Amino acid sequence: MLFLLSLFLLFSLPHVTFSAHCTTSTPTKTFQKCITLPTQQASIAWTFHHHNTTLDLVFFGTFISPSGWVGWGINPTSPEMTGTNALVAFPDPSTGQVVLLPYLLDPTVKFQRRPLLSRPLDIRLLSSSATLYGGKLATVHNGAAVQIFATLKLASNKTKLHHVWNRGLYVQGYSPTIHPTTANDLSSVMTFDVMSGSTAARHTNIGTLRSVHGIINAVSWGIMLPIGAVIARYLRHIQALGPTWFYVHAGTQLFAFFLGTVGFAIGIRLGDLSPGVQYGLHRKLGFAAFCLGALQTLALLFRPKTTNKFRKYWKSYHHFVGYGCVVLGVVNCFQGFDVMGEGRSYAKLAYCLGLSTLIGVCIALEVNSWVVFCRKSKEEKLRREGLIGGSDKGSAIFS
């Protein structure tokens, strides 16, 4: 079941690919190079003029709402939203025609402390314009394509640029509102050299790392840890197994924690590769689950013998921390699907089916345990009353 679930997750989760389906031509201009951006079906075409270090480019984007906005910009210092010099296209509230205004994205934009107001950019913008696919008479609608043209004056040694783009649902007056916060929307950043066309390697790998992170953690924290807890709760009562249940339980949990540690480390690396992108709740739940898992692993080193008077306290601690780790791990898996924008994906469906199967097995085993317990209690009561002999053991497989 784990193998099939892993394969399904592998082929269901999104992968970032750099397709060759970009164009260097527009109805009014032809450019030398183009590149497909990793999110939002966006692309950029450009021509870099060596003799005067000017850059002509066009950004191809799409609206997600008739009253929405599409923006592209350059961050002079780092690959993140904060500090970006942006050009934002949206329908004019009075005429309905597309307008293009400049905005500086300072740190207050992230917290929406005040409306975003248009102001001059810090970069040398020589000219800019925006047109809808279909010409000046075209209207904005959901899925409409927009082209943002810009001509920039670059420093002679500054040809590697941090490009930032995004799109939102609506505009208040002339102030674009916050964009959606799915993984794709928060990862709309790319660095490439306009002279050579080479991209920064970390952006080409981040999508693959995100998928691997999701698969490993769904299998380890979301499936294997609960399976280990089920083994400890139900198999230890089967006398025929002897101490085998303990070794299976410990082996399953140790392997799950080791695998989960790898996924946790990949998550930390993803955070380093995504400056300005924050998933507060997902991150906190991940750290909490990892700490509880580490405490559980260390607890094996201090496991008292069955005759030790502190054994009962150790068991209470082990149960409390163990079940807490399982709950946090499963909850954070669902949080991770939402973070990746896979809340309605087949990958999440596969995980839910696997988890539901495990829950169904738990319910069946729990019912069986109570049936056996009630039967044993009844037999013990009859034995005390002398209605059955002490040698009758019953046919139960549970003690």
Identity of residue 340: M
- Was 50 annotated as part of a binding site? no
The alpha helices in the chain, defined as continuous H runs, are: 2-12, 108-111, 183-186, 201-219, 225-234, 244-273, 280-299, 311-339, 346-384
Please state, in angstroms and rounded to a whole number, the distance separating the CA atoms of residues 332 and 285. 6
CB 272 within 8 A of CB 80: no
- Was 282 annotated as part of a binding site? yes
- Was 249 annotated as part of a binding site? yes
SS3 label, residue 88: strand
CB 359 within 8 A of CB 230: no
Q: Kind of pairing, strands 125-132 and 33-36?
A: unpaired
Q: Which residue do the tokens 């934009």 mark?
A: 109
- Was 213 annotated as part of a binding site? yes
Please state, in angstroms and rounded to a whole number, the distance separating the CA atoms of residues 191 and 56. 17
Please state, in angstroms and rounded to a whole number, the distance separating the CA atoms of residues 153 and 135. 27
Neighbour-count burial for 176-215, b at 16+ CB within 10 Å, e otherwise: beebeeebbbbbbbbbbebeeeebbeebeebbebbbbbbb
Cross-strand partners of 105: 84
Q: Say how many C-beta atoms besides its own lie within 10 A of residue 227's C-beta.
A: 18
Please state, in angstroms and rounded to a whole number, the distance separating the CA atoms of residues 37 and 44. 7
Please state, in angstroms and rounded to a whole number, the distance separating the CA atoms of residues 58 and 146. 10
Cross-strand partners of 44: 35, 59
Smallest Cα–Cα separation from 192: which of 356, 1, 36, 69?
36
Tokens of 289: 């689950």
DSSP state letters, 238-269 = BGGGTTHHHHHHHHHHHHHHHHHHHHHHHHHH
Q: Which residue do the tokens 């693959």 mark?
A: 208
Neighbour-count burial for 68-79, b at 16+ CB within 10 Å, e otherwise: bbbbbbbbeeeb
Q: Which residues are annotated as a binding site for heme b?
A: 213, 249, 282, 318
Q: Which residues are annotated as a binding site?
A: 213, 249, 282, 318
